Structure 1
Amino acid sequence: MEGIKIEIELPKEILNYISLNEITNDKVLKELIIYKLIKDEKISFGKGAEILGMSKIELIEELSEYGVNYFDQPIEEVIEDKNAIDKM
């Protein structure tokens, strides 16, 4: 997957709330962007997991920590996932 590089500027006071390692870690920033896209229903859980290089189950577990509920997804996607699990 071809990537793009994005640079953002944040106020220094943010370091009062998080460590510098958290905001310089590309993985954390990618996860936050992907989580927002999933929550806004712009991409699916499967696509988000693919972009982040993790399984869909791992992503669902991580998202639950941010208050993104998997079962807010359309019933068709839940049924599709159940059928995929049944085939395993």
Structure 2
Amino acid sequence: MLTAGTERRIEPRHRVGEGGEIALDEHTTIGCLVHDLSASGVRLTLPDAAAIPEVFLLSAACLPDAAVCRVVWRDDETIGARFEN
């Protein structure tokens, strides 16, 4: 049984606090803030998470290359996404 404060993530996450960009198509990007980063995914905040498609391209200085991401969960201003291989 999990108790409050139990870490359920498979991989450790690292706090980032750095800007990034989500490409909606080849002509449109939306700025975001990268909060947490792990080898398998990322947590982002932006003004309207509902505007982001289920699969998107994320670019940020904390990533070695642009990454294809798939939304795992979202609320009004936050997205949790995993990196696609």
Larger helix proportion, structure 1 or 2? 1
- TM-based fold match above 0.5: no
Larger strand proportion, structure 1 or 2? 2
TM range (shorter): under 0.3
Greater Cα radius of gyration, structure 1 or 2: 1
What TM-score results when the alignment is normalised by the length of structure 1? 0.27
